[in-house]
Amino acid sequence: MSKILVTGGAGFIGSHVADKLVELGHDVVVVDNLSTGKRENVNPRAKFYEIDIYDTDAVNRLFTEEKFEYVYHLAAQASVAVSVKDPVKDANWNIIGSINLIKASIEHGVKKFVFSSTGGAIYGEDVKVFPTPESVFPQPMSPYGIAKFSVENYLRFFSKEFGLKYTVLRYGNVYGPRQDPYGEAGVVAIFTSRMLKDEECTIFGDGEYTRDYVYVADVVDANIRAMEKGDGLVINIGTATGTTTNELFKVLKKLTGYKKDPIYGPHRKGDIRKSLLCYNRAWIELKWEPKHSLEEGLKKTVEWFKRNTQA
């Protein structure tokens, strides 16, 4: 049993990672400022601290008190749109907060740091290879993507200079139970929630934007494997299968019994046209591959929203 910190553990992906670590018998501590996370998402068998990771003193006190062996860093300002509107806020949360955690991990002898990055926003608009492998140099087109790539480089630096073991996981578009339908990220959650309430659904742009949708349980599996594997590597976690927003809408429409057509709105700044991830490295290094098809994952997600959405 290890003492493990999960930042963002009251949020969507983080709470699922924390649940799995608790299930495996680890001693889990969750940190979240509850700006978007929810207290009810925190596993009852995990210890919870409500702090901001960009509060340096609070982070140092936490590491001194708890003496972590592993850190799973999932806390983030996770919206591309918000990062475009407020890049300073995005940098404070996603860069400064991450550096605080990395430095504290080194000072307190953490065995490994697993960082949740983005495959969706990091490679940029000029990619010529699909599915995109990690060998393609990132050219992020949003402050969110820039921040994630910055932290990847900080990890590389701190690993070289101070010996911190790390693995970076670059996610596709993660979806599943507990995703917040009221934020600006997570089109699956937004569409599902609005369809179940028979509300209008807006598709930004022409709906032909392609994304790599990966189910949250598969992302959790990758995180667990990264505890012991993939040291010093950046690894894509996706499905290598592209789905347009229009196609996604049709599948969800069928699963929810929704009758309306979508409303089309303007293109959003920072949104790239196509994102599709190659996961060969994940298979080679982590022995990981996605287990859930899109239809299967969406069905489970819709079932969860039906149980948890108040009409």
Answer yes or no: are the C-beta atoms of 125 and 141 closer than 8 Å: yes
Task: For residues 220 and 224, give the distance between their C-alpha atoms in angstroms, rounded to a whole number.
Answer: 6
Q: Which of 144, 171, 175, 209 is catalytic?
A: 144
Task: For residues 82 and 7, give the distance between their C-alpha atoms in angstroms, rounded to a whole number.
Answer: 20
Phi, psi values for residue 31, rounded to 5°? -120, 135
> Per DSSP, which regions of the chain are E strands?
3-7, 27-31, 47-49, 70-73, 112-118, 166-171, 173-175, 202-204, 210-211, 213-215, 233-237, 243-244, 263-265
DSSP state of 92: I
Question: Would you call 144 a catalytic residue per the annotation?
Answer: yes
Neighbours of 205 (CB within 10 A): 14
Q: What is the DSSP track for 119-151?
A: STTTS-S---SSSBPTTSPP---SHHHHHHHHH
Q: Are strands 243-244 and 210-211 parallel, antiparallel or unpaired?
A: antiparallel
Grouping H, G, I as helix, E, B as strand and the rest as coil, residue 52 is: coil
Q: What positions carry a catalytic annotation? A: 144
